[in-house]
Structure 1
């Protein structure tokens, strides 16, 4: 793909629901190498749906221009080409994303590493054409030597590269950040009820119907599956899902995930196949969802409980799928009896 291919790929389906409030608007389009959609109640809002969509697409274009490694003249591409240790001035978009990534990396034993650009390129999930036939372990180690979250220092509005060849790939946070920026735009426009989605990452506000929360179906972690594994009630929250079952390659009889373990430089090989995280900020949820794909389920749930994060993990074993929940996730689950009664 020659478009922005984000690390966190998931298929979350919003259940169809009737709107019982004012003027509804629905529009969608393409962004960040995937698609976006917006559902909003425009009652008492001065903007028309058409004008609102234009503003949303302008906002997303600005985010993409800052964060996409697939745009040659993007801000992050220019930062990656910069090899001096002189501090680089950053936009608010890029600074926000790097700050979130640093924090989540610290909170997850380094499982999130946005400096894996050279390793991502080695495995063929980056900008350059994939060619695993000419690769060997030595080349992988050379790529790994150019990575590390301690390779840059972030200040109030600048970045200093301690490792001159450092290549930052903010994809694990960028999609969620784009959702957050669109949510801010709708808030400023006076929209009180909405659902925003970019490639499966979601932010909600208000209600789709009076006194009823938004509901999101997390599909079974199988490629192209439309069967849902769990329905989650999401009210004034963001949701991000990451999985290893959508973006992968087959090489020499092995399945190679697009998610890389920073501790080895290898595509992840564990039993966790899907992670879902709820948070007030979609960018933060996005970052944690990626990190929890790298860690084992016990450690992820332990961290989630320590931080009070609402997290759902799905493991796959010989018996099928097994779901794990952090303590904070239970209030958001739509239980089986509710489903049967159509609640």
Structure 2
């Protein structure tokens, strides 16, 4: 009986030991599973390796202005009878813009017609020898003077557009007398005409950047009005004299505006291109970690690559070797990972 009790006690102890061992083993398994789960929780953001054009550039901002504009004015003082255009109208070269008072024109016309009749009569008398050369010369001179006066008044009776463009301002009202002696911020003028087919962007550049900017360089202009559009221009002027107040240098960029999207006096940004590589392999700057290293994603794992870099700007960098087009590089979450780390891509 006593022996039986001892056996039962030993069995109970062994069972207890087995239970404890099993629990410890399950705990270790769960711990390992936890480690595996943790290893797979490296969330990353990615971007494709793209083949595109990349630039290095200097970025500035400035104001657009028209290369061709004019304040339109008659060549004599006269009353404005009627405008043939309104503010904002587009006109072509030769279109009539305004009609001026015809009083002086009619006087000049009458003088011309009278002088013309005298000239024709005196020409006939000269041919048959009835008048001397001096008398004829005086009549001819009077005729030519009257003709010139008539043609001058005729040209100023109707004010015409000297080139294609938009009427951007009416500086005098109908019925007002225009005077060549008028004083004001616009000077003597009745209309302002602006051609917008070709504009210029005026910027002020630092003396540090001056050696890198030359006439003829490519430039890319952008505006808030068309944030997805780029307008290609070129440097057309670089001042060789610094502004006395600011110490900066004036630079002008010409840009074609045949589609009329850009406007005079509009604010714009410009990238003056210093270097350009077409058909280059390009990745975001954020893909590059220390020692020219990138990580690509291959079978849900981070794969370390050593790359050679080409030209770069603040957003992108050219890859000369080390990765291929259409591979996926890690752009966020790539600082603390290692080669072979399991990763999960998130948007």
Please say whether Structure 1 and Structure 2 have the same fold, judged by a TM-score greater than 0.5. Answer: no
The TM-score with structure 2 as length reference comes to 0.21
Name the structure, 1 or 2, with higher relative contact order (CA <8 Å, separation 6+).
2
Please state which structure has a larger fraction of its residues in strand: 2
The TM-score with structure 1 as length reference comes to 0.21
Please state which structure has a larger fraction of its residues in helix: 1
